[in-house]
Amino acid sequence: MATILETAAAVGCFNTLLAAVDAAGLRGALEGPGPFTVLAPVDEAFAALPPGTLQTLVDNPPQLARILKYHVIAGAHSRAALCAQPEWPSLEGAPIPIRSTDPFEVKNATVVTADVACDNGVVHVINRVILPG
């Protein structure tokens, strides 16, 4: 089984996320043993951000890292586990609200694919970039 980042690279729709992880200096952490639960925005989610937002974030690695850490929860949590609580603490520190109704949602994003198992955790694919606060 592949790691979270290897899985993301193989799928092909997470190029922006992978580039952002590198720009923020988080590759080493996400290649570690974890386990982690990653709420992974697809490329289209990043493309939907207001013009210039992504470049501004890439130019500010600490802010980019903060936003990316908001997409990560310590431990490997399935959809069922996430839906058992109304919110989860992100690695960034702010809570991520969970809506267990159909569709399965985290904050203001819909989970389009849940429970992608990896060596060092689980990935839930989301359709929007979520922001703390």
Domain ranges in the chain? 4-126
Task: Share the mean pLDDT of the chain.
Answer: 95
pLDDT digits (tens, 9 = 90+) for 75-127: 999 999 999 999 999 999 999 999 887 889 999 999 999 999 999 999 999 99
The per-residue pLDDT for 47 is 95
Confidence of residue 133 (pLDDT cuts 50, 70, 90): confident
Amino acid at 42: V
Task: State the Cα–Cα distance between residues 121 and 117, nearest whole angstrom.
Answer: 6
Confidence at residue 15, expressed as pLDDT on a 0 to 100 scale = 96
Superfamily of domain 4-126: FAS1 domain (2.30.180.10)
- Asked if 118 and 1 count as a contact pair (C-beta separation under 8 A), the reply is yes
Whether residue 1 is predicted with pLDDT greater than 90 in this model: the reply is: no
Starting at the edge strand found earlier in the chain, the sheet holding 121-126 runs: 72-74, 36-41, 121-126, 109-118, 105-106, 95-99, 87-89
> What's the mean pLDDT in 47-66?
93
The predicted model gives 39-60 an average pLDDT of 94
pLDDT value of residue 37: 98
Q: What is the pTM of this model?
A: 0.95
Question: Which residues, 6 or more positions from 26, have their beta carbon under 8 angstroms from its beta carbon?
Answer: 65, 68, 69
